[in-house]
C-alpha cells in the first residue's frame, strides 16, 4: 500500500514537472526545434489581426517562413523597446538571412494600439519588424493561441500599464512552436537559435525555384 502511494506521488511529481516544464518551454531539450511539439501544449495557432500598414492578416499569411513573435505594447517603458531593439540587433547580425524570418510584435493593448499608433512606433525599430494590433477579442484570441498572459494594471494617478509575458516565440515555417528567446538570453545564444531555426527551414525562394 505504501509502495502504491509512493508511486502515485512520483506520478504526480512527474506530471507537475512536465506541466511546468512544457509551459515554460525549457523541456524542449533537443534544441529550439524540439521534435516533441505534438506532446507540448500548442503554442502558436490561429489569429486574426491588422498589421501596422492597415492590412488584415492571419497566421496563414506568415506560413512558409519561420516566425519570431513577441507580445507587447507601444507604451511599454522598457521590456518591449528592449526586446524590439534586440530583435533589430538579431536582424543586423543575420544579415540577408533575416529576410527569411517573419519578425512580429503583437500588441496586447487593444485600447491604445491601433494600426496608426503601431506604424508610428515601428519606425523606432528595424523596418522588417511588423506590428500587429486588433480588437479586444482578436487580441485575446491571439494571446490564447500562444498561451500568453497579459493584464491591464491601473496606475496610481490615472492611466494604466500592461503586464505581459516577455518571451519571443519561435515558430517553424509551418507555424509549429520551435522554442523561445528569453528576455535574459544572451545575444549569441539567441542568434544560434535563430540560425538553427533557419537551417531547419527550407529557403522558400529556393523551394519556389525547385531546388528542394
Ligand atoms: Ni512591454
Average the pLDDT over 26-41 and give the result: 49
Reduced to 3 states (helix: H, G, I; strand: E, B; else coil), residue 66 is coil
- Evaluate whether 188 touches 196 at the Cβ level (below 8 Å): no
Q: Is 40 exposed, middle or buried (0-12, 13-18, 19+ CB in 10 A)?
A: middle
- Evaluate whether 66 touches 179 at the Cβ level (below 8 Å): no
Task: List Cα–Cα distances, 5 to 14, 18, 198, in angstroms.
Answer: 14, 20, 47
Average the pLDDT over 90-95 and give the result: 97
CA of 200 to the centre of ligand 1 (A): 30
Cα 88 from chain centroid?
15
CA of 209 to the centre of ligand 1 (A): 40
CA terminus-to-terminus distance, the chain: 59
- Evaluate whether 67 touches 197 at the Cβ level (below 8 Å): no
Model confidence band, residue 212 (pLDDT cutoffs 50, 70, 90): very low
CA of 49 to the centre of ligand 1 (A): 19
Residue with cell 539567441: 190
CA atoms lying within 13 Å on the CB side of residue 162: 21
Residue 15 confidence (pLDDT): 59
Cα 210 from chain centroid?
30
- Residue 157 φ/ψ region, left for φ over 0, alpha for ψ in the -120 to 50 degree band, beta for the rest: left
Cell of 146: 500562444
Model confidence band, residue 41 (pLDDT cutoffs 50, 70, 90): low
CA of 210 to the centre of ligand 1 (A): 41
CA of 153 to the centre of ligand 1 (A): 12
Reduced to 3 states (helix: H, G, I; strand: E, B; else coil), residue 193 is helix
Average the pLDDT over 75-92 and give the result: 96
Which pTM value belongs to this model?
0.78
CA of 53 to the centre of ligand 1 (A): 21
201 DSSP 8-state letter: S
Alpha-carbon span 126 to 44, nearest angstrom: 23
Model confidence band, residue 201 (pLDDT cutoffs 50, 70, 90): confident
CA of 80 to the centre of ligand 1 (A): 4
> Pick from 130, 134, 80: which is nearest to 111 by CA?
134
Amino acid at each position: 500500500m505504501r509502495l502504491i502511494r509512493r508511486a502515485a506521488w512520483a506520478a504526480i511529481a512527474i506530471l507537475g514537472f512536465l506541466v511546468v516544464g512544457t509551459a515554460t518551454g525549457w523541456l524542449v531539450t533537443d534544441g529550439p526545434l524540439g521534435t516533441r511539439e505534438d506532446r507540448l501544449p500548442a503554442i502558436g495557432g490561429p489569429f486574426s489581426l491588422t498589421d501596422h500598414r492597415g492590412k488584415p492578416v492571419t497566421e496563414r499569411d506568415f506560413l512558409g517562413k519561420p516566425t519570431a513573435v513577441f507580445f507587447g505594447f507601444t507604451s511599454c517603458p522598457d521590456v518591449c523597446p528592449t526586446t524590439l531593439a534586440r530583435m533589430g540587433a538579431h536582424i543586423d547580425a543575420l544579415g540577408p538571412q533575416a529576410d527569411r524570418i517573419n519578425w512580429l510584435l503583437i500588441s496586447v493593448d487593444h485600447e491604445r494600439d491601433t494600426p496608426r499608433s503601431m506604424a508610428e512606433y515601428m519606425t523606432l525599430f528595424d523596418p522588417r519588424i511588423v506590428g500587429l494590433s486588433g480588437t479586444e477579442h482578436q487580441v485575446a484570441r491571439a494571446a490564447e493561441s500562444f498561451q500568453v498572459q497579459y493584464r491591464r494594471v491601473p496606475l496610481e494617478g490615472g492611466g494604466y500599464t500592461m503586464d505581459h509575458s516577455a518571451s519571443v516565440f519561435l515558430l517553424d515555417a509551418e507555424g509549429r512552436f520551435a522554442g523561445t528567446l528569453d528576455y535574459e538570453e544572451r545575444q549569441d545564444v539567441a542568434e544560434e537559435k535563430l540560425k538553427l531555426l533557419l537551417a531547419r527551414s527550407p529557403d522558400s525562394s529556393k523551394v519556389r525555384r525547385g531546388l528542394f
